[in-house]
Structure 1
Amino acid sequence: MGKQEITLVTGGSAGIGRAICEALLAQGRSVVNVDYRLPEWSHPALTSLQADLTDEAQTRERGAEIAERFAITALVNNAGATRPGTIDTQTVADLDYVVALHFRATMLLTQAALPGLRACGHGRIVNIASRAALGKTERIAYSATKAGLVGMTRTMAMELGGDGITVNAVAPGPIATELFMKSNPPDAPRTRKIIDSIVVKRIGQPDDVARAALFFLSPDNGFVTGQVLYVCGGTTLGLAPV
C-alpha cells in the first residue's frame, strides 16, 4: 500500500493558514499542518505537528518525518511573522528571524517535499508573500523577505517546471486575521484609514486568500507558474507592474 497523499501547509493553526487548511479539507484532501503551536480545532483528515520553523534542526526534522510518512503532492509555505521596524529601529535579531522563517524554512521544506512533488507528476507549491513586498513603512525586514520570496517563487518555477511542478505566490493585502484585528480594532481611526485606502472598501478575509491558493493548488492548473496573485482589494493598483 502506497503512502497517503497530502498537502503540507505551514502555519495552519490559525489565520490565513487555517483558512487554507479548511478549504483543502472541504475538497476532500488530506492535510498536514506544521506550526509553532497546535491548533484549537481538528478534522479527521488533518494531521498537525508542532515545530519552530525558525530553528533549522527542527525544520529539517519535521520535513524528513513528513516526507517519510506521507506522499507530499502539494506544499503551501504560509508561516510568517511581521516583526515591525523602520530602517532606524529594525534589529539584526528581527531580520534573522524573518529570514529564517520566510526563506530558510521555505527552502528546507520544499527540498523535503520534492520527491513526492516530482513523483505525483502534478506537484504544486504556493508561497504566501505579501502586498508589502511592493513597499510598506515600518516593515523593513518583512517587506524585504516577502519580496525575496517572490524572487524565490519565480526561480523555483523555472527550475521545477520540467518536473510538472508549478510554483506560484499569493500576496495578501490587509486581511482580518486575529493578529491584524488585535492591532487594528474595528472602530479605530487607523483601521478606518486602512479601509478607506482599499478600492473595494473592506478588509479582506482569510477565505479570500484561501480561494486564491486553491486555484494554484488544483492539479488541473498546470499551465500557470511563476506568478504572483495579489489578494489585496485593489491596494496594488498603480503600484504593481502589469
Structure 2
Amino acid sequence: MTTENTGRTAIVTGAARGIGAGIATRLAADGLAVAVLDLDEAACTTVVEKIEADGGRGLAVGVDVADEVAVTAAVERVADELGEPTVLVNNAGIIRDNLLFKMSVEDWDAVMGVHLRGSFLMSRAVQAYMTKAGWGRIVNLSSTSALGNRGQANYAAAKAGLQGFTKTLALELGRFGVTANAIAPGFIETEMTKATAARVGVPFDDFKDAAVKEIPVGRVGLPADIAHAVSFFASEGAGFVSGQVLYVAGGPKA
C-alpha cells in the first residue's frame, strides 16, 4: 500500500464488480479510503471486505446514480462516515443494445440516465467538497464505443457525451485545483462484454479471440489495466493533466 493519498476519500460508482471493483481496490491500495457505490448495497460488501482485509478503509453504499435525491444522500453519507470525498470515478454504466430501428425510448433513456445524468449528479455533488479542499480528481469512464459501434447508438452517444462533459469540467474546475479526465477502455473482459457476446449469439471465447486479432498488443484488457490508468489520474503527480481522454485499448484509437 502506498501513502501518497492517505487521508483522502474516493467514491467509485458501479464498483460492485468488474472495472469498478478493480478501480476501488486499486485506489484503496494507493492509500485512499474508498466508498464502493452500486445499485445494490449488498453487492458492494465483497469489494469492501477485500479492501479492509488488505488494510484499507471502505464503505458500501447503495444508490441509483440517476436519482438526484439518492445521490445527494449517498455523498453526504460518504462524507460523514468515511471522509469528505475529493476523488470521484464515474464508472456506473449499463447497456441496452439494439439496432436503431429496434431501440426503444426506454432503452435510450435508461442508458443516458445512468451514464450522463448519473455522472452529472455525482460530479455536481462531489465538486463542493473538492473546491472547498482546493484539490480534486474526477475520472469519467468513456469507451472506444464513443467512436461509433453498431447496435449501440445509445451507449456510443452517452460515452461520447462524457468526453465533452469531462472537458467542460476541466475548464470550470481547474482554478479550484480540480482536474477532470476520461478513460476510454477498449475490449475489457467483464460481465458487460460477456453480455454483449450473448446478445450477438457468439460464445465468449470466440468473441474474445476475434477481438484479440484486432488489438495490437495481442490480448484483451482486464479491469486492472483500467484501474492503473485511474490510479495515475487520481495521483498528486497528475495535477497538470486535465481535460484529457485516454484510450486504454491495446493500441491507437482516435
Partner of 1:227: 244
CA distance in 2, matches of 1:145, 1:34: 20
Measure, in 2, the Cα distance between the counterparts of 1:183 and 1:135. 15
Q: In the alignment, is the contact (CA less than 8 A) between 1:127 and 1:153 conserved in 2?
A: yes
Counterpart residue number, 1:12: 15
Superposed CA offset, 1:112-137 (max 9, x none): 11122112222100001101000111
Q: Distance in 1 between matches of 2:205 and 2:127?
A: 46
Choose between structure 1 and 2: higher helix proportion.
2
Q: Deviations over 1:163-193 (max 9, x none)?
A: 01000000001001133235544532x3322
Give per-residue Cα distances to partners, 1:87-140, cap 9 Å, x unaligned.
Answer: 111111011111111111111111111122112222100001101000111100
Partner letter of residue 36 of structure 1? L
The residue correspondences of 1:54-93 to structure 2 (distance < 5 A) are 54-69=66-81, 70-93=83-106
Q: Does 1:209 align with 2:221?
A: no
Q: AA paired with 2:91? A: N
Q: Distance in 2 between matches of 1:234 and 1:21?
A: 25
- Matched residue of 2:35: which SS? strand
**Aligned-pair CA distance for 1:66:** 2.7
Q: Which runs of 4+ in 1 moved over 6 A?
A: none
TM-score, L = length of structure 1: 0.90
CA distance, structure 1, for counterparts of residue 29 and residue 77 of structure 2: 25
The one-letter code matched in structure 2 to 1:84 is D
Q: Which runs of 5+ in 2 are unaligned?
A: 1-6, 198-202
Which of 142, 149, 152 is the aligned partner of 1:129? 142
TM-superposed CA distance for 1:156, in Å, is 0.6
Whole-angstrom CA distance in 1 between matches of 2:238 and 2:69: 34
Say whether the 8 Å CA contact 1:63–1:108 is kept in structure 2: no
If the length of structure 2 is used for normalisation, what is the TM-score?
Answer: 0.86
- In the alignment, what sits opposite 2:205? 187
Percent of pairs identical after alignment?
39
- 2:182 partner amino acid: A
Q: Find 1:53's aligned residue among 65, 74, 80.
A: 65
Q: Report if aligned partners of 2:66, 2:121 keep a CA contact under 8 Å in 1.
A: no
Q: Report the AA paired with residue 243 of structure 2.
A: G
- Alpha-carbon shift at residue 68 of structure 1 (Å): 4.6
> What secondary structure sits across from 2:221 in the alignment?
coil
Report whether the alignment pairs 1:145 with 2:148.
no
- C-alpha separation in 2, matches of 1:64 and 1:98: 25
Give, as a single letter, the amino acid of the residue that structure 2 aligns with 1:192: D
Task: Say whether the 8 Å CA contact 1:173–1:235 is kept in structure 2.
Answer: no
Cα displacement string for residues 207-232 of structure 1 (whole angstroms, at most 9, x for unaligned residues): 00000111110022110000000001
Measure the CA separation in 1 of the matches of 2:89 and 2:194: 24
Give yes or no for contact 1:175–1:206 (8 Å, CA) kept in 2.
yes
Contact 1:122-1:222 within 8 A present in 2 as well = no
Deviates more, 1:106-115 or 1:38-47: 38-47
One-letter identity of the residue aligned with 2:60 = S
What corresponds to 2:117 in structure 1? 104
